Amino acid sequence: MKSKKFLQIVATGLAVVTLLAGCGSNSSSGTESDTTAGNDSKVKKVKVAYDQASKPMTWLDENGNATGYDVEVMKLVDELLPEYEFEYVGTSSDDLLVGVEQGKYQVGVKNAFWTQERTEKFIFPKEFIGLSSAGLVLTKENEKIKTLSDFATAGYSLAPIAANNAQYTIVDEYNKANPANQVKLKAGDAFTVDVVQWVNEGRVDGGVIIESAFEKQVTAEDGPYHNLVNDVVYNEFAVIKTWPLFNKKEQEFADAYDEAIKKLKEEKKTNELSSEFYSRDLFEVLDTVER
């Protein structure tokens, strides 16, 4: 009897040990799952707003995908930042500015120029994202005008530019540096006016425009003003750095961007994308860029 009772006790003990071992196994599995979840939680999802109608800098292609120079650079930045996951949100230029400022988006790209006013609303990182050509739209007969100085000396009229448009700032900076030879600068009510049409109609002698916009409107065979390709010209007067705009609370994110974009520039990835989207490597003239 004692032997039988002893065997029952041993069997019960083994069952308890097995049960505890099973519980231990489940506990270990749960810990591993929590760790994985913890790793996933460290990946910060950020919304990257882009102007979806600003080809070739940023736009929504025919397949519904975000693309353009700025967007493709940001995609490469994303690849170098495993701690972040980028979500691209197409929107308007105005919504992008308001949305980034209010924190709806963590960063926005729109071929943005630096202005002092914008530094009060956004973080400008240390590293610019790209370069953009700015120039004058002129009639063919005025193609001899190459610079803002030439334009001012001729006493020509300029298409109005909204005061909150960075193109206004460019001309205003020129005027402040050249008080004796200023361009007649007028602030417009709208953010942009139809510069090509204004020049063609003779309402003004010239207007400031971004090269890519001129190519989209005039040079491209499907451009709305391609019929004027022999009547108007684009004369570049400056190549300007462009920047992503970060929400004021995203300094850590901006710092991470800086490290990634520096690497991309060293590897000439930005040069390649400039050639692809602008048909010109604007980084080749970086040494001459003043702004």
Q: What is the pLDDT of residue 207?
A: 97
Q: What is the pLDDT of residue 191?
A: 57
Q: Are strands 58-60 and 53-54 parallel, antiparallel or unpaired?
A: antiparallel
Cis peptide bond prior to 56, omega within 30° of 0: yes
Q: What is the pLDDT of residue 15?
A: 43
Q: Are 173 and 114 in contact (CB under 8 A)?
A: no
Q: What is the pLDDT of residue 202?
A: 96
Q: Is the pLDDT of residue 9 over 70?
A: no
List the structure tokens of 185. Answer: 């600068």
Alpha carbons 76 and 67: distance in angstroms, whole number = 12
Let me know if domain 44-128+242-288 sits in CATH 3.40.120.10.
no
Over the stretch 197-241, which tens digit does the pLDDT of each residue have? 999 999 999 999 999 899 999 999 999 999 999 999 999 999 999
Alpha carbons 60 and 50: distance in angstroms, whole number = 9
Name residues whose C-beta falls within 8 Å of residue 18's C-beta, 6 or more positions apart in sequence: none
Alpha carbons 143 and 206: distance in angstroms, whole number = 10
Alpha carbons 34 and 51: distance in angstroms, whole number = 39
The model's pTM is 0.81
| SS3 of residue 40 by DSSP | helix
- pLDDT bracket for residue 41 (50, 70, 90): low
Please state, in angstroms and as integers, the Cα–Cα distance from residue 168 to each residue in 29, 31, 66, 128, 190, following that order.
62, 59, 28, 20, 12
Over the stretch 119-164, which tens digit does the pLDDT of each residue have? 999 999 999 999 999 999 999 999 999 999 999 999 999 999 988 8
Alpha carbons 127 and 102: distance in angstroms, whole number = 23
How far is C-alpha 164 from the chain's CA centre? 18
Asked whether the domain spanning 132-240 has the same topology as the one spanning 44-128+242-288, the reply is yes
Q: DSSP states of 80-142 as a string?
A: T-TTEEEEEEEE-HHHHHHHHHHTSSSEEEEEEPP-HHHHTTSB--SS--EEEEEEEEEEGGG
Over the stretch 70-105, which tens digit does the pLDDT of each residue have? 999 999 999 999 999 999 999 999 999 999 999 999
Q: Is the pLDDT of residue 35 over 90?
A: no
Alpha carbons 227 and 241: distance in angstroms, whole number = 31
Q: Is the pLDDT of residue 14 over 90?
A: no
- pLDDT bracket for residue 192 (50, 70, 90): low
Q: How do the domains of the chain map onto residue ranges? A: 44-128+242-288, 132-240
- pLDDT bracket for residue 196 (50, 70, 90): very high
Q: Is the pLDDT of residue 16 over 60?
A: no
Class of domain 132-240: alpha beta
pLDDT mean across residues, the chain: 87
More confident residue, 114 or 39: 114
Question: Residue 88: left (phi > 0), alpha (psi -120 to 50), or beta?
Answer: beta
Q: Is the pLDDT of residue 18 over 90?
A: no
Q: What is the pLDDT of residue 193?
A: 77
Q: What is the pLDDT of residue 164?
A: 84
More confident residue, 192 or 75: 75
